Structure 1
Amino acid sequence: MTKKEFLEHLYGLVDNFRHELDQVVGEVSSLDFAEQAKLAINKLKPSVVHSVEEVRSSLGLADDYTAEQAEPGLLFEVFLPKKMSYQGRVYDALKRGLTPQEVVAYLTPPTETARERIEKLLPGKLRIKHQHDLIDRLKAIQPVYGGFSMYEVDGAFAMGSPEPIVEERVQVIKLLFRPKHLYELIGKEWSNQRQRYYVMNLLREFGQLPVSLVDESTVNVFLEGKDLRKAGVNEQVVRGILKEKIAWGEDVLFFVFGYVVGNVTDIVGINEQEIWVTSYRSTVVNVVHR
């Protein structure tokens, strides 16, 4: 709706309300003021509520929310000590990661030493899988990152001598990834809800496999024994979606371990012994939206 169309709609509502107001005034004019006011408010209240709801709806401010079907995703958490000297730099790095060009530039530095450092941060199986084309693969990484959350917790850790137990605040970076382009593709390809649900379940089941280990041959093994024809879904389209899921999963790993963990280790330098990364492949997201 354009601004002009919205204003015309709003003025129409005002005219209708003015007409109803004139009618109510005519109906209650013979009563004393207190009764006039009480009756007028009761008569006009439904019209006012309806008009406000129409305006809110026109502005996209409706109060009704809808829950979408559960979507499989990936959740990662990065743990590092909470220190003032780290905070601003970590936050800035995470914000820079929202710009795809910044991510590619960080993952493909100009010097061999810097490139080797990034490579060492990647999961071993992923390094082996792309040992001959890693730089080209990193340059082709697609945007997968839409934002982050940060929180802190208290912790106590057994570190051995000379300090057997260390107590310190821990900063946690939470990163949630959803392959929205795949969900949109599924929605366009299958209008039947049962078929969409079937393919989403396939995607969820396939997502339980370790991202760094899956490839095209994994897709073949995964689909063995699954009667896609009986479910009414096109096998080639499903294969294409699963292959896209593999590429998306790799991009997530490149981003988390190469970009996020890379920046964190840049920031903490030699001050820390370990940075922890946890992952949850069974994550499911229900988006509730207006």
Structure 2
Amino acid sequence: MCQQKRPGILKLLGGYTAWNDYDENYVSLLRPFFYGYSMYEVDGVFTWSTNTAPIVEERTQIVRLIFRLDIDEIAREANAENESKQMIRARVSDYLRAHHRDHIIEKATGQDRQIYEAAKAWRDQLGFFVFGYIIYGLCTQIEQLYDSGHIAKTEGEIWVTHFANLEIDRIVWPLSNAH
């Protein structure tokens, strides 16, 4: 199945060479990322950088995907099981929020470097999952709907954003009847 989709996935990924050599084994070793989603529509007004382009009003579909990093898994990968989870989470957050991630890894030594490298592996796999699976699947479905005449027009682009610095405080309710 993966090999049939490979040409389309590589076309979608374009110049992103990090995943050019993926194979069935890489895909089979992807860790679980996805923990849920929400969808909603937003009415928006968009303009372009040139004053001659018309203002566009449109309804936009927003899909928010929830991915959760497993700190225990990062600790195992970085051989840092004896370090505090707070310290590991802080290093991972530093890495994910950084603009020059490779520079952080190059400067780091010892345990910090191992944690940053584990965070990099997580981020690389997550990126492959988002673009190589979700976005690829979305694009092929849109293409099929257009080809079959179910939709008359397709969008020229899809925007993918992230909230790497969004903090979610997970509260575990102590009552036994909570679901």
- Same fold, TM-score > 0.5, yes or no: yes
Alpha-carbon distance, 1:154 to partner: 0.6
Aligned pairs for 1:164-243 (under 5 A) are 164-182=54-72, 185=75, 189-190=82-83, 195-209=84-98, 214=102, 219-221=105-107, 223=108, 235-236=110-111, 238-243=112-117
- Per the normalisation by structure 1, the TM-score is 0.46
Alpha-carbon distance, 1:287 to partner: 0.9
Structure 1 residue matching 2:97: 3-state secondary structure: coil
Alpha-carbon distance, 1:197 to partner: 2.9
Encode CA deviations 1:204-238: one digit per residue, 9 max, x unaligned. Answer: 11112369x64xx85242x25xxxxxxxxxx44x4
* 1:265 aligned partner: 139
- Contact 2:71/2:89 (<8 A) preserved: no
Encode CA deviations 1:224-264: one digit per residue, 9 max, x unaligned. Answer: 5xxxxxxxxxx44x444332211111111111112111122
Coordinate RMSD, CA, aligned: 3.2
Alpha-carbon distance, 1:172 to partner: 0.4
Number of aligned residue pairs: 157
- Cα distance in 2 for partners of 1:273, 1:184 equals 38
- Cα distance in 1 for partners of 2:99, 2:27 equals 19
Structure 2 residue matching 1:197: 3-state secondary structure: helix
Give ranges in structure 2 of 5+ residues lacking alignment. Answer: 147-153, 174-179
- Cα distance in 1 for partners of 2:28, 2:87 equals 34
Give ranges in structure 1 of 5+ residues lacking alignment. Answer: 1-104, 225-234
Encode CA deviations 1:52-107: one digit per residue, 9 max, x unaligned. Answer: xxxxxxxxxxxxxxxxxxxxxxxxxxxxxxxxxxxxxxxxxxxxxxxxxxxxx5xx
* 1:283 aligned partner: 166
- Contact 1:144/1:248 (<8 A) preserved: no
* 1:245 aligned partner: 119
- Cα distance in 2 for partners of 1:153, 1:280 equals 18
- Matched-pair identity in %: 28
Q: Which amino acid aligns with 1:189?
A: N
Question: In 2 relative to 1, CA 123–288 (structure 1 residues): closer, same or farther, beyond 3 Å?
Answer: farther
* 2:13 aligned partner: 122
Q: Which amino acid aligns with 1:176?
A: I
- Per the normalisation by structure 2, the TM-score is 0.69
| Greater fraction helix | 1
- Contact 1:157/1:166 (<8 A) preserved: yes
Structure 1 segments of 4+ aligned residues over 4 angstroms from their partners? none
Question: In 2 relative to 1, CA 120–274 (structure 1 residues): closer, same or farther, beyond 3 Å?
Answer: same
* 1:140 aligned partner: 29
